[in-house]
């Protein structure tokens, strides 16, 4: 065997070893990483973290922490992001992720949390949160952009997205409070005109220094803690009735009125346990009206079966009828103890005469 053959064989062995390494490092769900088991100054490779774009540095720090005593510190060079990720062998249709973010008040700009595909431009992310310490806001970028409120640099912010890749929507949480319901998201796999076929099988953290070309500085320090990834169990199916007592369920999209929807109780489901703040119909929460902010919901036996049902009302003009699936609308929500549920009913759109 000559030197060329030996060199070629060594290259093949290195490629094979790298492939095995990547496969072995695929994250296993559920994942709960507070970085406490990693020595300060070390990289958290044991739990499957990998580097997509090296930036300046990435290591476990004991400088600040959301809980415990450690967090994951990312820093980057100008125009070169520090991007660390977890490779997911499979992304469930119902998937939840969360992380706590701290943008350094002196050396921080912006931190990103969400999905990527390993494209040459490592700043490209999808279905992600932006915690901006310069412009001082928190936003989510899915199929649309949603402003989630202000952010103060030098403070911890806990963000969470509950993604439904079948309905292509997400419910968003900030610091434990529900911030947005039914936000449209990008699918797990799609074709991009510039990048080609994209598969969102990498989830991670990003410290980027482009800052929309407004700044040229030598650092962007962001800390991350309490990362949690998990598959969400399929939602419980419940019976609902849109416009109880009428059929077909005709709705005029231009109406300034309300659309009533009954969540029906049964011997296996108590509608009184529904957390009204989590309910969404066609991307809209339950209507609130009046000076006192009255939530348009009450209990009554809608179908006369002896069980108290929950009657909800939604602002007609706010409903996104583009989310109808072959004329069917889905109502989603959760009970007070966290059980996810959904119900379907037909809707017929009519025009005002």
Higher pLDDT, 292 or 229: 229
Contacts of 126 (CB under 8 A, 6+ apart): 114, 115, 116, 117, 141, 142, 186, 198, 200
**Average pLDDT over the chain, rounded to whole?**
88
Shared fold status for 27-231 and 236-349: no
Per the CB < 8 A criterion, the answer to whether 231 and 94 are in contact is yes
Model confidence pLDDT, tens digit, residues 211-226: 554 455 678 999 999 9
Least confident of 2-6, 120-124, 169-173: 2-6
What pLDDT is recorded for position 26? 76
What pLDDT is recorded for position 278? 93
The answer to whether residue 176 scores a pLDDT higher than 50 is yes
Per-domain boundaries in the chain: 27-231, 236-349
Model confidence pLDDT, tens digit, residues 295-317: 999 999 999 999 999 999 999 99
Per the CB < 8 A criterion, the answer to whether 64 and 107 are in contact is no
> Which residue intervals of the chain are DSSP H helices?
3-24
Higher pLDDT, 93 or 181: 93
Average of per-residue pLDDT across 3-24: 40
Average of per-residue pLDDT across 258-274: 95
What pLDDT is recorded for position 6? 37
CATH number of the 236-349 domain: 2.60.40
Q: Is 306 left (phi over 0), alpha (psi -120 to 50) or beta?
A: left
The answer to whether residue 13 scores a pLDDT higher than 60 is no
pTM for the model: 0.68
Task: Please state, for a pLDDT cut of 90, what percent of the chain lies above it.
Answer: 69
The answer to whether residue 3 scores a pLDDT higher than 70 is no
What pLDDT is recorded for position 115? 97
What is d(CA 334, CA 263) in angstroms, rounded to the nearest whole number? Answer: 12
Residue linked to tokens 């999808």: 126
Average of per-residue pLDDT across 236-254: 93
Average of per-residue pLDDT across 266-288: 94
**Ordered DSSP codes for 93-151:** SEEEEEEEEEE-TTT--EEEEEEE---SSTT--EEEEEEETTTTEEEEESSSEEEEEE-
Model confidence pLDDT, tens digit, residues 62-103: 999 999 999 999 999 887 889 999 999 899 999 999 999 999
What pLDDT is recorded for position 9? 38
The answer to whether residue 329 scores a pLDDT higher than 90 is yes
Cα separation of the two ends of the chain: 86
Length of the chain: 353
What pLDDT is recorded for position 216? 57
Would the CA dihedral through 62, 66, 72, 78 be positive or negative?
Answer: negative
Least confident of 8-17, 165-174, 318-327: 8-17
Topology of the domain covering 27-231: Jelly Rolls (2.60.120)
Model confidence pLDDT, tens digit, residues 18-43: 343 444 467 888 999 999 999 999 99
Average of per-residue pLDDT across 110-136: 87
Average of per-residue pLDDT across 261-280: 95
pLDDT band per the 50, 70, 90 thresholds, residue 122: low
Higher pLDDT, 350 or 328: 328
């Amino acid at each position: 065997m000559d030197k060329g053959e030996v060199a070629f064989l060594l290259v093949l062995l290195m490629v094979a070893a790298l492939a095995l390494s990547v496969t072995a490092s695929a994250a296993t769900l559920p994942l709960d990483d507070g970085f406490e088991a990693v020595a300060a100054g070390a990289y958290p490779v044991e739990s499957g973290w990998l580097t997509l774009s090296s930036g300046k540095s990435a290591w476990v720090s004991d400088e600040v922490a959301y809980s415990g005593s450690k967090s994951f510190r990312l820093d980057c060079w100008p125009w070169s992001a520090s991007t660390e990720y977890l490779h997911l062998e499979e992304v469930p249709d119902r998937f939840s992720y969360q992380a706590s973010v701290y943008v350094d008040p002196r050396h921080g700009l912006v931190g990103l949390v969400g999905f990527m595909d390993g494209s040459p431009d490592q700043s490209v992310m999808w279905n992600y949160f932006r915690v901006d310490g310069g412009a001082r806001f928190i936003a989510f970028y899915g199929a649309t952009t949603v402003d989630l409120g202000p952010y103060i640099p030098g403070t911890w912010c806990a963000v969470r997205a509950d993604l439904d890749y079948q309905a292509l929507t997400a419910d968003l949480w900030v610091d434990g409070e529900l911030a947005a319901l039914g936000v449209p998201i990008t699918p797990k796999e799609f074709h991009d005109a510039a990048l080609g076929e994209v598969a969102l099988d990498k989830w991670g953290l990003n410290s980027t220094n482009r800052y929309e070309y407004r700044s040229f500085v030598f650092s962007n320090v962001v800390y991350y803690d309490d990362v949690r990834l998990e598959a969400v169990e399929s939602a419980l199916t419940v019976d609902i009735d849109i416009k109880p007592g009428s059929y077909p369920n005709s709705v005029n999209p231009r109406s300034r009125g309300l659309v009533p929807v009954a969540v029906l109780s049964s011997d296996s489901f108590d509608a009184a346990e529904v957390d009204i703040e989590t309910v969404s119909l066609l991307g809209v929460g339950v209507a609130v009206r009046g000076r006192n902010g009255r939530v348009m919901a009450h209990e009554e036996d809608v179908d006369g079966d002896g069980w108290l049902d929950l009657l909800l009302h939604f602002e007609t003009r706010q409903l996104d009828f583009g989310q109808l699936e072959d004329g069917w609308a889905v109502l989603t929500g959760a009970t007070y103890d966290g059980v996810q549920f959904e119900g379907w009913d037909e809707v017929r759109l009519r025009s005002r005469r």
